[in-house]
Chain A
Amino acid sequence: MASKKTPEINGGSMADISFIALIFFLMVTTMDKEQGIARRLPPLPSEDQKVEDQKVNRRNIIQVKINASDRLFAGNQPMDVSQLKDKIKEFLTNPSNDPNLPEIEMKNVEGLGMVPVSKGVISLQNDRGTTYSKYIAVQNELIRAINELRDDFSMRTYGKKYDLLDEDRQKIVRDAVPQPISEAEPKDVKKK
């Protein structure tokens, strides 16, 4: 044994070293939160497939249009973004069995049984001149309407909010309250 003790490593510069590491991380990283509105685009119709006009009953479709000057029309009626959510909720639930609002069909949802499901489809159309922020605001309202319907449904069925359900039940709720937003082939919405 040359020495009884191994000499202690000097830890005085530890602070400096970790400061350098800290500053490095401050510079190369961002704090961007990766969040947004997740959507699924419809696949392109294949070449040989004839573009059949899907015969959707007129009452089952609501057209939400945003024109080049950011005006919003829902079901041919001009309205403000703040009114859209309730309009969509009324459209999808059809509480008074209005013949002008979509049909409600009993559908078998796996794991739950027969559930009334609306056949309504929301068709979203925008102009090339629409601003992105307006488009997102409208998308947001549509999703908000559907999220509220999902919450209502899961409250009624499970007594819990949608977010608090487990994975399987969330899927059941998603099946019972679908998100029928269709983004049509790009088409210019003319000014009214």
Chain B
Amino acid sequence: MAKFIKKEKSDIPAIGTASLPDIVFMILMFFMVSTSMRQTDRKVKVVMPQASEVTKLERKDLSSYIYIGTPTEQYQAQYGTESRIQLNDSFRTIDDIRDFIAAERENLSEADRPFMTVNIKADADTRMGIITDVKQELRRCSALKIMYGARSDVRK
């Protein structure tokens, strides 16, 4: 009898975990390849509009981001619910764009400067007034390559 019980126990071997590191490494590699580092904390709510004719940004390192949208809840007490501009990590105004662009340009190598792209990520409900102001300011700084951030939709 004792012999019988013992036999049944050894029939169910433990699952081998030797390949667990490999599996986890594989997931890790997937995430490292498919994601990008988060550069800034979003302080504005941005739900980008949908578009079907989107193009992919070729050089991520050459782009600077301007976020436009309503402040997220935790900042609403301080900054209100009007659409605001976020540059880097803080709320800014139109007048700060000039310095921001100059600083971003400074960070790039001489050869890459003409290819700098300004990525405007604006919320779908933003009014065009603020975006027009931003565009005018960008023209004044001669940062002419821009990209309107949009999500791609499946319709094609």
Contact = CB atoms under 8 A, between A and B. Distances in A.
A29 B36 contact: yes
Contacts of B132: 126, 128, 186
Interface string A38-58: 111111100000000000000
Interface residues of B, number: 53
Given A25-B31, A132-B127, A186 B136 contact: yes
Interface centre among B17, B24, B126, B140 (most CB of A within 10 A): B24
B127 A25 contact: no
A43 B144 contact: yes
B90 to A, nearest CB: 19
Contacts of A32: 36
Given A34-B119, A35-B152, A132 B126 contact: yes
A34 B63 contact: yes
A36 B21 contact: no
Interface string B51-64: 11111110010010
7 contacts: A29-B32, A29-B36, A36-B148, A43-B142, A131-B124, A140-B51, A147-B53
Interface of A: 11, 14-15, 18-19, 21-22, 25-26, 28-44, 126-133, 135-137, 139-140, 143-144, 147, 183, 186
Given A30-B35, A35-B55, A131-B124, 9 more contacts: A29-B37, A30-B37, A35-B150, A36-B149, A41-B138, A44-B139, A133-B125, A139-B148, A147-B53
